[in-house]
A and B are shown apart, each in its own frame.
Chain A
């Protein structure tokens, strides 16, 4: 079967190379974790998979027609914006079905009236639930409490069972252990 995503000898970066050469594959319904120390280029590699960062060498191939969803660590700029949770979900085509009760009942509130954790989970949900074949998540457990992490873990497993491929960058070892089928550990680049 053709993998959803494959990378061979990829060196990614922004203005200059930031990672060692990386080989990577992701199949349908698989959850793969990307871990490693700070500055190793985990987020950069994720951005390269999404076509944002520069690929200096090697190649990345995606299955034709792949629908990709990317969650970054940037907080959606919603302060002062009259946008409610239900409208946010509608923008990405995400369904509110399955949201935890503590968030489902706040869907009609403005996003800037929600707590930081509630806002983060809703912003994450809008990406997670967007119709897509491949979901790329960068530190999704930031700002989440234990209940949020547990709900996210269960939901990612459901998405994977439904055939979605998921790549997770996270420092949360327990979360990675609980949710990922396998883990790719990135090594630091040699200092020249």
Chain B
């Protein structure tokens, strides 16, 4: 376990297990949890496209998800009710599967992205993910009050003339980039499990917002550590083990 071969993937995943449940609480607040799945699939498709085009897959994944996050406000008015996320999800999935079916290189990476490839994380990924975690948590801390205020009192928020773009576009971009990084390291469903289940439980059981964030973070980290050890010990793919563990925790707590 303490061998560098496992320690670096463990630390990389741990950073994401801290960040994703917190980000998930704000996505759930905005009733945009489906965005996590959408951005993950777009990131996977972008990574495969980049691979086929001879570019670094991580760059392609981050660029595709970032583009989706930035351009979302442009079409969200016409695609209300979560339709934009559903279309992104389906589009990302379709492109990824078609690429994997027609390109041998893309097939391997596609499997890794959809199974969860945490054990292949290297030092470079740890640096990126660790840095992203610190920056993203800082941004969420700064945006938190405005995100809550814009949800609870949208009219008060507008009447006071608070700047709306960091709350709307800034948060969308942040979510997309974090999801892209998470997908590259945990896989599509591993990232989704961490961003959906801990916040879902925190919203049901949290006594207040602060304790809800703490609860989501704690559940995410505990589930990640257990899943890592179980998957390693039983030589199983990480993503499905994490998802099953979180489902069990979810059913017990809920």
Contacts of A126 in B (CB 8 A): 153
Q: Interface size class for chain B?
A: 20 to 34
Interface of B is mostly: helix
CB of B152 within 8 A of CB of A77, answer yes
B170 interfacial contact with A, CB 8 Å? no
CB of B203 within 8 A of CB of A82, answer yes
Q: Would you give the 0/1 interface string for B53-94, flagging 1 where the beta carbon is closer than 8 Å to chain A?
A: 000000000000000000000000000000000000000000
Within the complex, the shortest CB–CB distance from A139 to chain B, in Å, comes to: 14
Total interface residues in chain A, CB < 8 Å: 30
Of the listed stretches A21-29, A86-94, A142-150, A152-160, name the one at the interface; the rest are far from the partner chain: A86-94
CB of B207 within 8 A of CB of A84, answer yes
Within the complex, the shortest CB–CB distance from B28 to chain A, in Å, comes to: 9
CB of A110 within 8 A of CB of B208, answer yes
A70 interfacial contact with B, CB 8 Å? yes
CB of B153 within 8 A of CB of A83, answer no
A67 interfacial contact with B, CB 8 Å? yes
Return 15 A-B CB contacts under 8 Å, by A number.
A52-B158, A68-B160, A69-B160, A70-B156, A70-B159, A76-B152, A77-B151, A78-B152, A80-B203, A80-B204, A83-B208, A87-B208, A91-B145, A110-B207, A110-B208
Query: 18 extra interchain contacts, Cβ-Cβ under 8 A, other than A69-B160, A83-B209?
Result: A51-B159, A52-B155, A67-B160, A77-B152, A78-B152, A80-B204, A81-B29, A81-B203, A83-B208, A86-B208, A88-B152, A91-B149, A91-B152, A92-B149, A110-B207, A126-B153, A127-B153, A127-B156
Interface residue ranges, B against A (CB under 8 Å): 29, 145, 148-149, 151-153, 155-156, 158-160, 202-212
Interface residue ranges, A against B (CB under 8 Å): 50-52, 67-72, 74, 76-78, 80-84, 86-88, 90-92, 108, 110, 126-127, 130, 136
